[in-house]
């Protein structure tokens, strides 16, 4: 067992390329640091597209003005949801967790009853918070629907930019994972792709097959001992 193989395992995968199939070897990459760094770079680059005065900003805002109002309201509400949730939790906090003080002479049985009452009350408050949050979101949704299109677009804009940035992050992470994970079927140490542009140029249907297979591979291997490839030591 080569130490580089620890936490890395793989399997053969058959990928459909339109009118034919091709076999590849897919293996976990172990350390995701590179993929995450590339994802953050892609996110930052995407964010720069929305700098003050850029044509991209105006184009996106105009697209939001023309989009179906219910879709834009959903974006605007998404931008505000975290703040609303924080407000509800602040206004409806859990009761103070009970503590047993030996100096009072409280028995374990009595303390157990107080703790059970506390847990029951916490569940009640959680249900109340959920109902309150749903009501506040519903009311805010109605308020947003009543806004002029341009004002609504302004409120939805930050959430739309956030989604685009996270999508760029996810795409870059996936691409770099596949660059390192996909190997030649006849030689598991040999990468299938030489450059990241080859992964980026894949047909979406092919890339989705590889992404799905990689997710399955990670799920299959979670909790198991690492399994070396049939070709011997697996490079990371």
The sign of the CA dihedral 191, 196, 198, 203 is positive
| Radius of gyration of the chain from its Cα atoms, rounded to whole angstroms | 26
Q: What's the pLDDT band for 226 if we cut at 50, 70, 90?
A: very low
If we measure between CA atoms, which residue out of 181, 221, 172, 169 comes closest to residue 200? 172
pLDDT of residue 222: 52
Q: Which residue in the block uniquely carries the two structure tokens 């303390």? A: 111
Domain boundaries, the chain: 3-221
Task: Say if residues 137 and 81 touch (Cβ distance below 8 Å).
Answer: yes
Between 144 and 3, residue with greater pLDDT: 144
Round to whole Å and give the CA distance between 159 and 50. Answer: 12
pLDDT of residue 231: 34
Round to whole Å and give the CA distance between 8 and 234. Answer: 7
Between 236 and 213, residue with greater pLDDT: 213
Please write the tens of the pLDDT for every residue from 155-206: 999 999 999 999 999 999 999 999 999 999 999 889 999 999 999 999 999 9
CA terminus-to-terminus distance, the chain: 14
Please write the tens of the pLDDT for every residue from 68-104: 999 999 999 999 999 999 999 999 999 999 988 777 8
pLDDT of residue 51: 84
Count of all residues that appear for the chain in the document: 236
């Amino acid at each position: 067992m080569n130490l580089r193989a620890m936490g890395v395992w793989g399997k053969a995968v058959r990928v459909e390329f339109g009118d034919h199939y091709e076999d590849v070897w897919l293996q976990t990459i172990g350390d995701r640091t590179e993929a995450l760094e590339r994802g953050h770079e892609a996110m930052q680059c995407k964010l720069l597209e929305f700098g003050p005065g850029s044509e991209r900003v105006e184009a996106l805002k105009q697209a939001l003005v023309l989009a179906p109002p219910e879709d834009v309201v959903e974006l605007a509400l998404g931008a505000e949801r975290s703040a609303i949730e924080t407000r509800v939790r602040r206004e409806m906090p859990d009761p103070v967790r009970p503590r047993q003080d030996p100096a009072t002479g409280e028995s374990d049985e009595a303390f157990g009853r107080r703790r059970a009452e506390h847990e029951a009350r916490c569940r009640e408050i959680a249900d109340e918070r959920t109902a309150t949050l749903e009501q506040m979101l519903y009311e805010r949704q109605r308020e947003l629907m009543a806004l002029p299109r341009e004002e609504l677009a302004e409120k939805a804009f930050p959430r739309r930019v956030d989604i685009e940035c996270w999508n760029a992050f996810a795409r870059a992470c996936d691409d770099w994972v596949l660059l390192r994970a996909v190997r030649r079927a006849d030689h598991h140490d040999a990468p299938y792709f030489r450059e990241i542009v080859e992964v980026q140029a894949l047909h979406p249907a092919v890339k989705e097959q590889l992404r799905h297979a990689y997710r399955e591979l990670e799920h299959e291997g979670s909790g198991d001992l690492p399994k070396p490839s049939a070709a011997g030591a697996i490079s990371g």
